[in-house]
Amino acid sequence: MNEYSLIGKRVPPIDGKVKATGAAEFTVDVRLPGMLFGKVLRSHVPHAKILNINAERAERLHGVRAVLTGADLPRNKKYSLFTNLPELYDQTPLAIDKVRYIGDEVAAVAATDEWIAEEALNLIEVEYEELPAVFDPYEAMDPGAPLLHEKSERNISRTAQFFHGDVDKAMKEAFYIRVDRFKTQATTHCAMEVHCAVAHWEQSDKVSIWSSTQSPFKTAETLSRYLDMPLNKIRVTKQFVGGGFGGKSDGLFPVDAIAALLSRKAGQPVKIVNTREEEFCTTRIRHPYFITIKTGVAKDGTLLAVDSKAVADTGAYNSWGPAIIGRAGVQVFMGYRLQNMRYEGHNVYTNHAPSGAFRGWGNLQMRFAADCQMDMIAEELGIDPMDLRLKNAHESGDVMPNKAWIPSCAMKECINLVSENERWKEKRDRMEAGRGLGAGIWAYVSGSRYNPHDATAAIIKVFEDGTATLLTGATDIGQGSNTTLAQIACEELGISVEDLTVISGDTEITPFDYGTYSSRVTYVSGNAVKAAAEDVKRQLFPYVAESLEADISDLVAKDGRVYVKGSPSKGMTFRDAVKGSLYSKDFHILGRGLYTPPTVVVNHETYEGHSSPAYGFGTDIVEVEVDGLTGQVDVIRISGAHDGGQPINPMQAEGQLEGSACQALGQSLYEELVFKEGQIMNPSFLEYKIPTALDAPVIVNELLAEPDPGGPFGAKGMSEGSIIAPSPAIANAVYNAVGVWVMDLPITPEKILKGLKNKENQDAAA
């Protein structure tokens, strides 16, 4: 038990009631007077020049109010989410001149209802000149392959290439070296809420956009640059968001911009809601990675050097790809201590649907490779794989070779705790036939530096009766940040969460915050909120100190009161303090919190720099049962121990960890977007299988409550990184169960049966 009133407590979500009763308003629920419905015409070919678009018949259809094509867009302008790297700009809301994947936006219609809009799409005639397409990133890099974007030679949108220490020397000194190749598949987020936007372009040339986004401020900023509009003329508001998982973290999705431009053209508000098929085929995909990893270790298992290469299929557009390709390389030494490393990663365009951010991006792929290989090395060296992990685990204060340091790390404690909980050694030695136990770890940033700044702010406006409003730009996308931020503010102020209203994610009225990505909200936004609450106390305490004849420094705010530390009776209610201060000092209490994590901009050449203020860690042990006849893998149990610092709300943290486990289960065993000549063949929940409640194994998680020195009340991020560990743990467990390595995800029955067959043949040959 800690000393806190709210931190570390299972506070129910502050929006639980409105969500449970259906009263919560999501973007799809936004209705404006005179609102039209928009639909998007998409390319049915993977690569083609647009020779001509004839929209006349569509425009004449009764009920159609506007048709938008590339001709309506700013000339010679593109955008990407990398504000400060114009060399990466590669996208437009609608295709101009050519289409690059099946699903590419070609034209859009706003009409009085969805059916008319849909019908109008059929009336738009697009004349294409088909171009050769390329779907394999290695082929795409071949000289002579069709180019998607002229400026990207060999279709490489970005190469991340960096090294630390002396890899060649270390490899020479290694007791054991091995090289393995791994592959990960295309998956997608499957958020329950599809991408959607409502835009209202007002006569005053100001546009308001309600978007299902993870970062309203990034959306506004990107649109502002693309349309050359001042930021005070663009208002982006987030409603309740039905899941994001990274899939709504691009700066600007075409639907946002298309809705805005259709509204400008039609003079009426426009709503666009993706169909589920559009959601599967045209939003974002987890990058398929092709990874070659060569690792050298000492005899005792100490990691000496890792030399790795990755090729990522980024599809038709960049999205977050250029950042992910670098981060995958950094994961190599983020997971374990390592001073000698070399990495080369290519982010490659193909005529597939665009890949982008997805919970654990790049890190998941690289960790799958590295942590499977860890078990292979352990076996070769005759070391218990958990001992091998323990030997190489980070500790608090470690400095990574890129000069980033780790303020707090309880990785060893996680490994020990979960091993003990699961009786790892005894149990693993005596597994039943077909049963296996495997482990994996995760290590992940708490916020990361991709933007030219990471300044965050929050305001707490205190009412006369001691209740308050928190204004924060942070974006609750269902993960519950409104609740955790309320806990942080209320803990600091010593009031109850009922006494605080949270207003979040509205570019016009809330302070700046880059939003939800890279597990930054609890740490970064949380610190800004805490600072605002501290500022409230700074304004409030002088009056209380005067009234009580006490020192300001002796005052505490707790349990609805402000009192002298150690003498709870010498004090007054928070409400009386506020009212007394207001009446006697005669100014309003208006807390302002500014926070910027102590990070530095990453050097995009060397990937050096302290890009995250803190790191979360964890270890999972997974037990599987593999059916030798069918190849079917049944995950029995996922047990983890996690270091996310001091959890703000254990119930929410556990919910996130359980979500991570289930999403990882799908990623490991079930999910894969199947492409055929650029066409996604399974764009529905019928064909693309995600785990349901019935598929969920027993999930057990322990939270180590080791406070991080810089996090608000010691908290760090944990919800994103925790998706990383289960995949290698499952692969390792499968190997432990049946002696088959499946090195490309997902681990399907077919691959296991093939492995078993190979093994049989090898055994027979031996």
Interface with a second copy by CB under 8 A: which residues? 17-18, 21, 23, 31, 33, 202-204, 206, 221, 224, 230-233, 452-457, 459, 461, 463-465, 467-469, 471, 498-501, 503, 508-509, 511-512, 582-583, 586-588, 590, 592, 594-596
Query: What are the two backbone dihedrals, phi and then psi, of residue 759, each rounded to the nearest 5 degrees?
Result: -60, -45
Distance CA 277, CA 521 (A): 31
Name residue 488's beta-bridge partners.
Answer: none
| Amino acid of residue 189 | H
CB nearer to a second copy: give 14 or 261. 14
Q: How far is the CB of 132 from a second copy (least distance, A)?
A: 42
CB nearer to a second copy: give 404 or 410. 404
CB nearer to a second copy: give 211 or 222. 222
CB nearer to a second copy: give 397 or 452. 452
The dihedral through the CA atoms of 386, 389, 390, 391 has a sign that is positive
Q: How far is the CB of 33 from a second copy (least distance, A)?
A: 7
| Amino acid of residue 548 | L
Q: How far is the CB of 512 from a second copy (least distance, A)?
A: 5
CB nearer to a second copy: give 18 or 674. 18
Q: How far is the CB of 462 from a second copy (least distance, A)?
A: 9
Are β-strands 468-472 and 500-504 bridged in parallel, bridged antiparallel, or unpaired?
A: parallel
Distance CA 229, CA 282 (A): 27
CB nearer to a second copy: give 76 or 204. 204
Q: Is the peptide bond before 707 cis (omega within 30 degrees of 0)?
A: no
Question: What are the structure tokens assigned to 2, written together?
Answer: 């800690």
Question: What are the structure tokens assigned to 566, written together?
Answer: 């150690």
Query: What are the two backbone dihedrals, phi and then psi, of residue 211, each rounded to the nearest 5 degrees?
Result: -135, 145
CB nearer to a second copy: give 302 or 501. 501
Question: What are the structure tokens assigned to 189, written together?
Answer: 């987020």
Distance CA 561, CA 568 (A): 8
In which element (H, E) is residue 731 found?
helix 726-738
Q: How far is the CB of 492 from a second copy (least distance, A)?
A: 16
Q: How far is the CB of 551 from a second copy (least distance, A)?
A: 24
> What stretches of 128-268 show up as alpha helix (H) in DSSP?
137-141, 167-173, 216-227, 254-266
Q: How far is the CB of 482 from a second copy (least distance, A)?
A: 13
* DSSP assigned state of 628: T
Distance CA 578, CA 573 (A): 9
Q: Are the C-beta atoms of residues 271 and 200 closer than 8 Å to each other?
A: no
Q: How far is the CB of 31 from a second copy (least distance, A)?
A: 7
CA angle 92, 98, 103 (to 5 degrees): 70
Q: How far is the CB of 277 from a second copy (least distance, A)?
A: 28
CB nearer to a second copy: give 309 or 579. 579
Around 681, how many Cα atoms within 13 Å sit in the side-chain half-sphere?
A: 6
> What stretches of 640-707 show up as alpha helix (H) in DSSP?
650-665
Burial of residue 634 (number of CB atoms within 10 Å: 0-12, 13-18, 19+)? middle
CB nearer to a second copy: give 15 or 166. 15
CB nearer to a second copy: give 231 or 431. 231
In which element (H, E) is residue 335 found?
helix 321-335
Q: How far is the CB of 384 from a second copy (least distance, A)?
A: 46
Q: Are the C-beta atoms of residues 366 and 332 closer than 8 Å to each other?
A: yes
Q: Are the C-beta atoms of residues 485 and 472 closer than 8 Å to each other?
A: yes
Region for residue 134 given its phi and psi (left: phi exceeds 0; alpha: psi -120 to 50; beta: otherwise): beta
Q: How far is the CB of 458 from a second copy (least distance, A)?
A: 9
Q: How far is the CB of 21 from a second copy (least distance, A)?
A: 5
CA distances from 298 to 302, 337, 373 (A): 5, 13, 15
- In the chain, what is the greatest distance between 2 CA atoms, to the nearest angstrom? 92
Q: How far is the CB of 268 from a second copy (least distance, A)?
A: 11
